[in-house]
Structure 1
């Protein structure tokens, strides 16, 4: 009889696992790393959803859209998290995303009313350096210097793409000349942010493309005040990271629940000290001590999402031409 009871218990457990809904979210690798937001977000959401939240790392941010285009409506993803406003226009054009119904009191530098994408954090691109380095204050001066920089590939990385948009927005038709000047400063172009930042920390470059908030990690997590960012007088390009629900998801209600959770205090309070960005909705506890020491650009640059495709294509062509000469 005890064997029958054991078999019955195992069957019930198996059925319970089979009936647990699974929400699959494609995102970038650093989000799901052990030091990124993923583990804490997964734990917090699963406490509320009676589901199994599964993050799938797909490289860096810009690679998300490429994978999604390849998979189309057959994708296993229910949500894509990690696109930004340089890519949302192209993402919307695929027809693969469904509208959301999320409303929030966003603390963003711009008004937000996108019907397909929900923002979860934002920041400014910048070059991180050692505080002892006297850095140039614009791209022209950087190109004229002997400083070595590491950047990311704009075809696979949202920071890399952000740099293209930054230079193009700041310099317009002069952007090709800026890239021609910068070509000698670039040590290497990495596929993603993690590889580039690692090279900088290993001393392979004087500066690395990252964010104005990146030194907060060293200051708060490592109690290391040796890193800061170079302030550029032409301004800094802004990034707003977003998530969207796929129209073909087989878990639409669960996906909606996650998008709503994403702008809650439980999610937003995780962002500053794991993704090291500004939260889209400031948590009740405010920003951690140390964030107030980060530079605030005097000028914020951002191409509207509905114009980003054209600017991106031209900027990418100019970048490729300059770096292949």
Structure 2
């Protein structure tokens, strides 16, 4: 028995050493990314097959909450990579001094030219209000405000879609934005912390429309074989979101972080995005987009502000939004 005990002890020690020798890459991201139905599980499996590491994806609320957590933790953060910011937040993220430059090169399929030495894009899409296909939806924000339709939106202080809505209204209407929000105030059923909560309320019938993306109906069509959802086309155009990731300068796994950023623009990662994150990939996979994406609405006008211009506009838009909804 003592020989068996000795052998078992040696095996346990060997296994412990092997685990200890496995490098860990910690990636902060948003909750829906790491959910069972999100990209996280497939991304983790695919990257670990190439890196010889333990990829730990840590959900930190919704997209905008990532930056708040990072600011709170500062240089003490355990993150090696942050995935889930967008161009409305990258200037503020850069101001923290916590991010390092990357050396990733890719042929991006984005509606705009991309030349950012700090942040790497991995998907993109257009914000939109999703509704049941049989609803006679509004053609613009003014028509929505004049209607009796009930909507669910997300808090711009914690959610990138919520922030995107603010930027959408402000970019489209400028100085008229406060009046638009005043008109929309009685349409809003509730403001949720994140996207998942808002979309769930819509699916439960608590609202006629929910702030989401033009690509959201693809989920219902492809995953559920349900064509009962669509996105409303707004004549003002639709604000664009480009989601990005960046490497933390103080990472103790800088080479692994670089490897992950390069992996993000590979076919292995990009082919996962359309049918798990339900967004357009930043680099079109070799197999192209899944069948069903061709049915999605295509905005006639794309709205987006460069990241440097987005920060001051964001602050003004947030103040207007808070003012309108507090009355």
Q: TM-score range with shorter-chain normalisation?
A: over 0.9
Q: Is 1:67 aligned to residue 66 of structure 2?
A: no
- Structure 1 position 5, deviation (Å): 2.4
CA distance in 2, matches of 1:71, 1:268: 30
- What does residue 176 of structure 1 align with? 178
SS in 1 for 2:138: coil
CA distance in 1, matches of 2:74, 2:209: 38
CA distance in 1, matches of 2:56, 2:258: 15
CA distance in 2, matches of 1:74, 1:243: 19
Count of equivalent residues? 325
Deviations 1:240-278 (A, max 9, x none): 000000001000000000000000000000000000000
Q: Is 1:194 aligned to residue 202 of structure 2?
A: no
Q: Is 1:98 aligned to residue 100 of structure 2?
A: yes
Candidates 135, 146, 152, aligned match of 2:154: 152
SS in 2 for 1:24: strand
TM-score by length of structure 1 reads: 0.99
Deviations 1:209-260 (A, max 9, x none): 0000000000000000000010000000000000000001000000000000
- Structure 1 position 10, deviation (Å): 1.2
State the Cα RMSD in Å: 0.5
- What does residue 112 of structure 1 align with? 114
- What does residue 250 of structure 1 align with? 252
- What does residue 143 of structure 1 align with? 145
Deviations 1:142-165 (A, max 9, x none): 000000000000000000000000
Deviations 1:68-111 (A, max 9, x none): 00000100100000000000000001000000000000000011
TM-score by length of structure 2 reads: 0.99
5+ residue gaps, structure 1: none
SS in 1 for 2:257: helix
CA distance in 1, matches of 2:212, 2:166: 13
SS in 2 for 1:167: helix
SS in 1 for 2:178: helix
Deviations 1:34-71 (A, max 9, x none): 00000000000000000000011011000000000000
- Structure 1 position 9, deviation (Å): 1.5
Candidates 33, 36, 46, aligned match of 1:31: 33
SS in 1 for 2:14: helix
SS in 1 for 2:277: coil
Following superposition of structure 1 onto structure 2, how do residues 302-321 of structure 1 map, counting pairs within 5 Å?
A: 302-321=304-323
Candidates 46, 61, 78, aligned match of 1:76: 78
- What does residue 203 of structure 1 align with? 205
